[in-house]
């Protein structure tokens, strides 16, 4: 199964991607993670990434597609989760061409829909374990009373500087401006599957599982 996760900042894409990796042996292709990994790799592509980032420039679509190609040509496991890419219609076309070249299929585009005001309230209450990256929330998943991370035992927690109401609203505006054409495009192709991104983690997980199981069943009938 190859899927795209769409959703604004804080919608929970990272959390659900980790669940899919654990439960379905999928591989998360996060643009940010791939760029950081490439920068430290010492490869030719990694050097290109490092040079661009050192100049403070945006990494080109060509470079990102090159990084994704390397991943697609490696171990496939249970399929790929595209997280953070594509973000524009040009990137949609580039990804479609790459998947076709590699003999891969895009099975579903899952849109994690949220209520903006509820999302802002949730994110401004968010903190992260500085040691392992586990995410906590003052409202829904507070830091344990003993002050230790439940996952690794760490005692240092941080909040992102841009996790404030003004910055979040700006980030949401940018997301919707860039992403709304993608939502319309994948809807028209019959690949868009919306889920409620503000449900409990288990509820969102179950909704995504239903989408993937249905897509898997359809793929089996077409085979």
Taking only the tens place, the pLDDT of each residue in 77-120 is 999 999 889 988 999 999 999 999 999 999 999 999 988 888 88
Is 122 among the catalytic positions?
Answer: no
Flag whether pLDDT at 199 surpasses 90.
no
Q: Say how many C-beta atoms besides its own lie within 10 A of residue 66's C-beta.
A: 17
Is 210 among the catalytic positions?
Answer: no
Active-site residue among 69, 71, 113, 171?
Answer: 171
Is 159 among the catalytic positions?
Answer: no
Is 24 among the catalytic positions?
Answer: no
Q: What percent of the chain has pLDDT over 70?
A: 97
For residue range 122-158, list pLDDT tens digits in order: 888 889 999 998 889 888 889 999 999 999 999 999 9
Q: What is the mean pLDDT of residues 32-45?
A: 83
Is 87 among the catalytic positions?
Answer: yes
The model carries a pTM of 0.79
Cα–Cα distances in angstroms (integers) from residue 92 to residues 1, 4, 82, 196, 211, in the given order: 18, 11, 11, 23, 21
Distance CA 70, CA 49 (A): 14
Active-site residue among 13, 39, 122, 205?
Answer: 13
For residue 82, what are the β-bridge partners?
Answer: 4, 29
Active-site residue among 24, 87, 113, 169?
Answer: 87
Active-site residue among 24, 141, 160, 169?
Answer: 160
Residue 220 phi, psi dihedral angles, 5° rounding: -65, -35
**Alpha helix locations (H) across the chain?**
13-24, 31-41, 44-54, 61-72, 89-101, 116-123, 165-188, 201-222
Active-site residue among 126, 141, 169, 178?
Answer: 126
Distance CA 217, CA 223 (A): 10
């Amino acid at each position: 199964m190859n899927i795209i996760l769409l959703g604004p900042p804080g919608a929970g894409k990272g959390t659900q991607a980790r669940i899919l990796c654990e439960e379905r042996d999928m591989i998360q292709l996060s643009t940010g993670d791939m760029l950081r990994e490439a920068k430290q790799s010492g490869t030719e592509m990694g050097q290109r990434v490092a040079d661009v980032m050192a100049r403070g420039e945006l990494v080109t679509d060509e470079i990102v597609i090159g990084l994704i190609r390397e991943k697609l040509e490696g171990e496939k496991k249970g399929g790929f989760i595209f997280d953070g890419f594509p973000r524009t219609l040009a990137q949609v076309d580039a990804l479609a061409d790459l998947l076709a070249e590699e003999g891969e299929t895009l099975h579903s585009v899952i849109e994690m829909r949220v209520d903006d005001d509820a999302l802002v309230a949730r994110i401004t209450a968010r903190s992260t374990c500085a040691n392992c990256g586990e995410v906590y929330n003052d409202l829904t998943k507070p830091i344990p009373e003993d002050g230790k991370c439940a996952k690794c035992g760490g005692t240092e927690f941080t909040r992102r500087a841009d996790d404030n109401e003004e910055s979040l609203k700006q980030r949401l505006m940018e997301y919707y401006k860039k992403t709304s054409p993608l939502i319309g495009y994948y809807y028209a192709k019959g690949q868009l599957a919306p889920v409620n991104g503000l449900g409990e983690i288990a509820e969102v997980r179950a909704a995504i599982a239903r989408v993937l199981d249905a897509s898997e069943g359809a793929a089996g009938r077409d085979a």
